[in-house]
Amino acid sequence: MIRVTDLYSGYGKVPILNAVSFEVSEHEMVAIIGPNGAGKSTLLKTIAGLVHPSSGKVVLEDQDVTGLPSYQIVRHGIAYVPEGGRVFPNMTVMDNLRMGAYSNRQTLKEGVLDEVFTLFPRLKERAEKFARTLSGGERQMLAIARGLVSRPKLLMLDEPSLGLAPKLVDEIYEKIRLLKESGLTVLLVEQNTTYALELADRGYVLENGRIFMEGSCAELASSDHVRKAYLGL
């Protein structure tokens, strides 16, 4: 579905990503784990067209989408859910969802709303509330829902557990599991290694802007490096 090859990216003259290569197959859920500052968000932002790569390639289903502006990336079928459940605080839940559809040059289709409200019934109850009045967990749900209304081929989730209490993390990950079961292709980046490796099919470890290891989640979870550095074992 998506193949990233030798990607270099950063901010101004500051290089962050160094020859990053990985791929995600259709219906697969791939996790990229790594510590704070490893470059996880920079990687997703570069794919999403928010940070410009200095070299390398991003190919989605045989189409080269490297360095395209973000609105075109959305149209190609990649949705990016930023970390911290970032949504438009002074817009209603409904208007936030409309914005998600708008960036794909669509008006909200009825079927799409039914789908996201089935997955997130609490958003339906709060449809006319301002996003700023939502709890942290509800905001994260809205951020994911906003990504889904563009009907993406690939959903990229940036640390969906960030800043949430354990009970809410369980709840969010249950939703992500349902999305995975529905066949959606998902690229998940997380510091929360336990959750990510439990749910994903395969994983990569990103450290200092480089892919340090890759393997099945079972392989990663049992490796000495991951156990010591990420699982505290």
How far apart, in whole angstroms, are the C-alpha atoms of residue 165 and residue 85? 14
Residue 13 touching ligand ADP (CB under 6 A): no
Using CB atoms within 10 Å of the CB of residue 11, give its burial: 0 to 12 exposed, 13 to 18 middle, 19+ buried.
Answer: exposed
Q: Which of 1, 4, 16, 187 binds ligand ADP (CB under 6 A)?
A: 16
Q: Which of 2, 20, 31, 38 binds ligand ADP (CB under 6 A)?
A: 38
Of the ranges 29-37, 54-62, 92-100, 123-131, which one interacts with ligand ADP (CB under 6 A)?
Answer: 29-37
Residue 193 touching ligand ADP (CB under 6 A): no
**Tokens matching residue 85:** 């459940």
Residue 85 touching ligand ADP (CB under 6 A): no
Q: Which of 15, 19, 26, 37 binds ligand ADP (CB under 6 A)?
A: 37
Could you give the C-alpha distances from 63 to 5, 21, 57, 131, 177, in angstroms and in order?
13, 17, 10, 35, 28
Residues in Cβ contact with 76 at an 8 Å cutoff, skipping those fewer than 6 apart: 60, 63, 65, 68
Of the ranges 33-41, 70-78, 89-97, 132-140, which one interacts with ligand ADP (CB under 6 A)?
Answer: 33-41
Write out the residues near ligand ADP by the rule CB under 6 A.
11, 14, 16, 34, 36-42
